[in-house]
Amino acid sequence: VCASVSSIILCSIEAIANFDIDAVDIKQTKDKLEIIINKEDNITDKLIKNMLNCLKELEKKYPKNIEIIDKEE
């Protein structure tokens, strides 16, 4: 689960950064990763939605190991 989460997040954030380095910021603590969206555009929105969909699928399969908190919902 950990490797899957890392891969999903890293690929998504790197893809966003390739289009606009300032579009998102990351805040990480021991038990939490927060993604701050600084600029909303079509590409960033689609990549974030895709990332969340992938993470939510993992959450369904492994509810004891991962919790997705979407502040937009």
pLDDT of residue 32: 85
Rg for the chain, CA atoms, rounded: 12
Answer yes or no: are the C-beta atoms of 23 and 38 closer than 8 Å: yes
pLDDT of residue 48: 95
Burial class of residue 73, CB neighbours in 10 A (0-12, 13-18, 19+): exposed
pLDDT of residue 33: 87
- Least Cα distance to 56 among 67, 45, 64 occurs for 67
pLDDT of residue 73: 62
pLDDT of residue 2: 86
The ranges of the chain with pLDDT < 70 are 73
Predicted structure pTM score: 0.84
Backbone angles phi, psi at 9, to 5 degrees: -70, -50
